[in-house]
Chain A
Amino acid sequence: MAEPNLVMVGVNHRTTPVEIRERLAFNRGTIEASLEKLVAYPEIVENLILSTCNRVEIYARVTNCDTGIDLLKRFVSEYHNLPLSELNKFFYCYRDERAVEHLFRVSSSLDSMVLGEAQILGQVKDAYSTARALRSTGMVLNQLFEKAFSVAKRVREETGIAERGVSISSAAVELARKIFEDLENHSVMLVGTGEMAELAAKHLISYGVKTVYVASRTYERAVKLATDLNGCALGFEQFKEELHRADIVITSTAAPTFIIKKEMVERAIHQRKNKPIFFIDIAVPRDIEPEVNDLENVYLYDIDDLESVVNANIKEREKEAESAMGIITSEVVKFNNWVVALDAVPTIVEMRNRAENIRRREMDKTFKKMQHLSPEDQSAIDRMTSTIINKILHKPTVNLKKQTQSQEGHVYLKAIRHLFHLDD
């Protein structure tokens, strides 16, 4: 296999509006049918379809890149009944190294709408296992996707791409976990039942918070949200007396003035024997007097603070994405070397050349010593040694060609190159 002829054709959230993307999406059932249809084309050796809400991409090994790309585009257009002339402006196509690089970027979440989000890797893994189960992928795509998963793991471990929360509620949870280690034994109090407060509370609960209090000016709303969150409803005036029970307080009322004042918090913190309280004020106008943050063991973040944390985190992720690109570039080179090594022909030629050189050298030496040999004798010896070489190398050559079409082909090639010392 001289050329891997890898191609990918796709659309994503950057190139294509959602109205088109949703029409191009494949679901599990249509993916299986499509994979089978595609692999039936003689031009397509292996293929895989990745379809998420942000992208539809087809990866394939084809007999020829240009015709392969055209075929995939036509397939998508015909399958979804959208004219190719209209779709052409949305498609992006990559071949060989560029296709490899693109997949590595996608699975490492560098191409995601939210940089570093974890979901995409799972989606790529699903797409791969679906295709693998149908045997629509083979040696090259299997190796490519396995590699993509290990690259994604490296990126996640060696860069901070996924380290920082990039939404208000994840930044708030992160802060809570830097103040309190384990959220399980901690409680949260919601003052006001705003949507964002609810979201943040749910996020905290998913990290183990068990005790939830909800206070609202309308008691019914407090009861309703408390039931949803498996918590306990408080009357609006009651929360002030119960403030000391909460480790995390999230406020989101529509009150025009501060409802939590410094003295109130001072009292609560005293009652708690200085155990820290983390206030998250997502109300506009603010619910909590900013001076509360001056108290020891009290941490107050308002919506602007959280937003600037999120913005700083996004910038950090972008910086981390640059170092992730370094990892990807070096992994693309490695993968390319693997692909190049798949090609058995140069190795066979080198192996034969090496044997032929030895034969010639030894023959010259012998002929010099045995001057009495007639030209006929010499050519008989020449033919005989040549046949020996051919017979010895025949089976290894045939087997090598056969094995390089299999999953472990590169191992055979490596072994041959090593045994015959071809890389010195």
Chain B
Amino acid sequence: MGKLVFNTAIIGYLGASVGYFIYLVYRRPVVSTLAAAAVGLALFAHTVLIGLRSMETGHGPYTTPFEVALFLAWLIVVVFFVTEWKYHIKDLGSFVIPLVFVILLFSGFLSQEVILVEKTESQYWLTLHRTLSALGYAAFSIAFAAAIMYLIQEHQVKSKKLGIMYFRMPSLEVLDDLNYKVITIGFPLFTLGFLTGAIWNVKMQQGLMSWDVLKTWPLVLVWAIYALVFFGRLFAGLRGKKAAQGAVLGFVAVISTYFLHV
């Protein structure tokens, strides 16, 4: 059952990625509708999968790297749908859904062993920490996609080589605004996630000194990159290309941190 649902989600996202890409290049409205339907189907399967997994483990999807990947991919799709609904940037799907597909595909190679946890107070902090961080990461993923689109579009306008993407992709202003909005939402969530994580750590190990340096410092770096983008925009007029580069750099740091954690 779980395998079937997992495969449905994977195939749904793969189909949608291909569909969005075809739409990006060939502009057939029917293809984008089909792609959106495929994402809807995949998200449904994905939700069922998380539900099944939670029933099996008796807790939310935050404990093993497999569960975290599953949950993060799910959140990205949800945030993507909200963004789509607000911004109507259909081509965002060409950049976001392949990312979701890759994360889910990758999660398939992770151990699916069930870890049972006791319901202690520190466990609540951990749940809170992982939910908030995952929301932050999901927002950062959308910011990453918007930033990639911004950099492609900016390069075309700047170099005066206006290829097919120039006509297909939205304006720089919209992409920059999207980047700004999702980071403005994602950064505080991520910060709260970071703090709740610290509280959990203190509760578990009675002290900050015992922190695993290899695991913590990359997170501090991630936080610092997004803090720079966030406060830079707020106070120093950081925008456009630099903000986009920051969002890309931040996301690369997020991915590296994830692998260090695993």
Contact = CB atoms under 8 A, between A and B. Distances in A.
Interface of A: 157-158, 160, 163-164, 175, 177-182, 273-276, 293, 296-297, 299, 301, 305, 308-309, 312
A179 B167 CA distance: 12
Contacts of B170: 181
A321 to B, nearest CB: 16
Interface string B1-32: 00000000000000000000000000111000
Contact of B153 (A158, A163, A178, A301): A178
B209 to A, nearest CB: 42
B240 A274 contact: yes
Given A178-B153, A178-B172, A299-B157, A164 B240 contact: no
B90 interface: no
Given A274-B240, A296-B241, A178 B28 contact: no
Nearest to A175: B157
Nearest to A278: B157
B160 interface: yes
Contact of B160 (A160, A181, A275, A309): A309
B129 interface: no
Given A158-B28, A274-B240, A178 B160 contact: no
Nearest to B236: A273
Contacts, number: 53
A293 B171 contact: no
Interface string B220-262: 0000000000000000011111100000000000000000000
Contacts of A175: 157
B172 A276 contact: yes
Interface of B: 27-29, 153, 157-158, 160, 162, 166-167, 170-174, 177, 237-242
A164 B242 contact: no
27 contacts: A157-B29, A158-B28, A160-B27, A160-B167, A175-B157, A177-B171, A178-B153, A178-B172, A179-B171, A179-B173, A180-B171, A180-B173, A181-B170, A181-B171, A273-B237, A274-B238, A274-B239, A274-B240, A275-B237, A296-B241, A297-B239, A297-B240, A297-B241, A299-B157, A301-B160, A308-B160, A309-B160
Contacts of B158: 293, 299
A15 B57 CA distance: 79
Contacts of B237: 273-275
B167 A164 contact: yes
Contact of B162 (A157, A180, A296, A309): A309
Given A305-B160, A308-B160, A178 B240 contact: no
Contacts of A180: 171-173
Contacts of B157: 175, 178-179, 299
Contacts of B174: 181
B173 A181 contact: yes
B239 to A, nearest CB: 5
A160 B28 CA distance: 11
A76 B28 CA distance: 43
Nearest to B240: A297
A178 B153 CA distance: 8
Nearest to A247: B173
A276 B153 CA distance: 14
B162 A163 contact: no
In order of increasing CB-CB distance, the 9 nearest A-B pairs are A273-B237, A181-B171, A181-B173, A274-B237, A181-B174, A297-B240, A180-B173, A178-B171, A274-B239
Contacts of A312: 162
Nearest to B171: A181
